[in-house]
Amino acid sequence: MKFILALDQGTTSSRAILFNHDGGIVAVAQKEFKQIFPKPGWVEHDAQEIWATQAGVASEVLHKARAKAEDVAAIGITNQRETAVVWDRKTGKPICNAIVWQDRRTAPVCDKLRARKLDKLIQRKTGLVIDAYFSATKVQWILQNVKGAKARAAKGELAFGTIDSWLLWNLTGGEVHATDVSNASRTMLYDIRKGDWDDELLKLFGIPRSMLPEVKDSSGIFGETTLLGGSIPVAGIAGDQQAALFGQVCTQPGMVKNTYGTGCFMLMNTGTKPIASKNKLLTTVAWRINGKTEYALEGSVFIAGAAIQWLRDGLGIIKKSPDVEPLAASVPDTGGVYLVPAFAGLGAPHWDAYARGTLVGMTRGTTAAHIARAALEGIALQVMDILKAMEADAGIKLKELGVDGGACVNNLLMQMQCDLLGVPTLRPKINETTALGAAFLAGLAVRFWNNQAQIAKQWQVDKKFKPAMKAAARTKITSGWNRALSRAKAWEES
């Protein structure tokens, strides 16, 4: 068998990538799907459209490569995490739209949980801070607001899953309702030390255990699909950021990667011991392979690439996303302009659901180029905030940063990032490391690759960025950023 098929189900598109034995990309197919915004701060997806687009690109990528099902050794799934789908076990139909990880409708519920001083309990068990970002309050909202859902859930008629579980259910024709540990650890319902759903938390959120998927290793056979013209095992699942960590071969404690997608996600491998964060980062499961669990510290920036989409679709100052680089490069600096892209609140280490996007420091001389440059700088500065918190938690000084994701092809952004962190930044030859990580996990399970050492040999550097900014300039930019952040925070409450 020649290939591993990775299904990369993201926030704005579904992709399928076919990898060969050298970890090289053979073919890619991608399809965007609709973003639904019923109210300010609400974000939904049609789960059936997600499945249709994902199944469509899986067939398309095989057709592009002139490959058949028998050429594919296994399928690996990686997915947008925390997005909650609830469906009818009999019909397989969702009972409402999926509530997306970016959705803020349950922020008031989270406020009440914090007021009840439940944050320490939840952090101890799940490694997470209380936030609307995670799945638990989304499922709770669905059960309380969709007519008849609570009663049907109590009877065992409904299933809940993050997107990986939803895809797996459909791939296996409703035979398998499962997830992996990395996705389970993002629900705010899973005890990451005991390795099981937590009954106390299920009771707290009013979610019956019968709704939940079985939790399995990230690498291993989940089930078989016959939808692509022959039987193929689904043999690897990991949430997108954990998959990227694995795809970047960050398999030793202290290794860090940052993914630049719709949001930005920085993870540090901390080995077999979970580190409790004192700086509002998340302690999360990285993966479980052959029953051995490894952990990571994670910081999440909600809006990264989405800020560039906003320049394109909201402001119309660029026609397509890659146009942002030459526009931003046409000015030497931002002219004192800061863009805090808190369109969906602020993630780590601030965790402010009521922050909103802020553009400050403009003068009559401000141009579209200054705003474009401020958007890129705003992404890099959010990442800088996370790294400082991560170094403090782990007691490890970063030596270098591995980068991946769509926006890492932007050389100006990568140089900004490198300058603001003051450490070398490495971009790999294959920046599709999220899909690659899912492929590696699936390939290990079916012995397409023998071991992690064989996988590590395939990672190659495309470009190394070296810091060129003077410390004084970095301090000045950081100081202005902190002032801009103070204007964006708690905006909704005032």
Distance between CA atoms of residues 338 and 318, nearest Å = 18
DSSP string, 463-488: EEE-----HHHHHHHHHHHHHHHHHH
Res. 249: pLDDT tops 80: yes
Mean pLDDT of the chain: 93
Query: Quick one: average pLDDT of 74-85?
Result: 96
In angstroms, what CA-CA distances link 446 with 236, 293, 324, 459?
10, 19, 42, 20
Distance between CA atoms of residues 199 and 204, nearest Å = 9
Query: Quick one: average pLDDT of 444-470?
Result: 90
Query: Quick one: average pLDDT of 148-160?
Result: 96
Which pTM was predicted?
A: 0.86
Res. 447: pLDDT tops 70: yes
Q: What is the pLDDT of residue 196?
A: 95
pLDDT digits (tens, 9 = 90+) for 14-37: 999 999 998 899 999 999 999 999
* pLDDT band at residue 115 under the 50/70/90 scheme: very high
| Residue 346: partners with Cβ closer than 8 Å, 6 or more residues away | 302, 340, 352, 355, 485, 488, 489
Which range, of 127-136, 233-242, 389-398, 462-471, averages the lowest pLDDT? 389-398
Res. 245: pLDDT tops 70: yes
3-240: which CATH number, 3.10.28.10, 3.30.420.40, 1.10.260.40, 2.160.10.10? 3.30.420.40
DSSP string, 164-212: HHHHHHHHTTT---EEEHHHHTTSS-EETTTTEE-HHHHHHHT--GGGS
Query: Quick one: average pLDDT of 275-289?
Result: 91
Res. 494: pLDDT tops 60: no
Domain locations along the chain: 3-240
Query: Phi and psi for 210 in degrees, rounded to 5?
Result: -60, -20
pLDDT digits (tens, 9 = 90+) for 302-315: 888 889 999 999 99
Query: Quick one: average pLDDT of 355-361?
Result: 95
Res. 493: pLDDT tops 80: no
